[in-house]
């Protein structure tokens, strides 16, 4: 079967395929690191969002929009995180039809431990790049993201 295996030709690969490879590699690495915590990449995305937005109430609806995920998907993530004692749901006292999601002390501890791993991963992603190249990469990725919003 090895005779059918081809080497990558980065110059000819479609950009979408490159993004897919990067995403899959990033997600696999992250999931491997999270096995000890019994968490997934998607669950950590929820926790990271919550810790970055502690300055205001975060509703389930906001999480759906922020994670670009459907309501049932986000509800499933929250359910599993609640089972793991990482988040709690609280009915919004100003609007009872909304449920806000709060981090537990256990989640904050996990996020503190993961912070160093996150920094190491960021460094690995830009290894060998100058500060100017990193800045340009961020700008280009933002342009790609903006373009995707218009499709």
Instruction: Give 74-114 pLDDT, tens digit per residue.
Output: 999 999 999 999 999 999 888 888 889 999 999 999 998 88
Higher local confidence (pLDDT), 25 or 151: 25
- Cα separation, 151 vs 112, in Å, equals 37
- pLDDT score at 26: 81
- pLDDT score at 132: 96
- pLDDT score at 133: 96
* Interval 33-52 mean pLDDT: 90
Cα dihedral 58, 60, 66, 70, rounded to 10, equals 180
Look up residue 83 and give its two tokens.
Answer: 């089972």
Look up residue 8 and give its two tokens.
Answer: 């990558």
- pLDDT score at 3: 58
Number of alpha helices (DSSP H) and beta strands (DSSP E) in the chain: 6, 2
- pLDDT score at 5: 57
pTM of the model: 0.74
Least confident of 2-11, 29-38, 40-49: 2-11
Question: Model confidence at 4, in pLDDT bands (50, 70, 90)?
Answer: low
Say whether pLDDT at 6 is over 90: no
* Interval 15-35 mean pLDDT: 85
Q: What is the mean pLDDT of the chain?
A: 89
- Residue 60: which residues within 8 A CB-CB, separation 6 or more? 71, 74, 75, 78, 89, 98, 99, 101
- Cα separation, 23 vs 79, in Å, equals 25
Say whether pLDDT at 2 is over 60: no
33-149: CATH topology: Arc Repressor Mutant, subunit A (1.10.10)
């Amino acid at each position: 079967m090895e005779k059918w295996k081809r080497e990558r030709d980065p110059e000819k690969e479609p950009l979408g395929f490159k993004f897919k490879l990067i995403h899959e590699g990033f997600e696999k690495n992250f999931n491997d690191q999270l096995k000890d915590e019994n968490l997934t990449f998607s669950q950590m995305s929820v926790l990271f969002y919550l810790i970055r937005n502690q300055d205001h109430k975060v509703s389930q609806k906001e999480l759906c929009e922020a994670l670009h995920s459907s309501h049932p998907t986000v509800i499933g993530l929250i359910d599993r995180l609640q089972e793991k004692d990482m988040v709690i749901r609280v009915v919004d006292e100003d609007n009872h039809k909304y449920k806000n999601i709060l981090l537990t002390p256990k989640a904050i501890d996990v996020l503190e431990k993961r912070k160093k791993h996150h920094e190491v991963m960021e460094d690995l992603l830009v290894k060998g790049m100058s500060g100017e190249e990193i800045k340009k990469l961020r700008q280009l990725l933002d342009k790609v993201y903006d373009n995707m919003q218009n499709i």
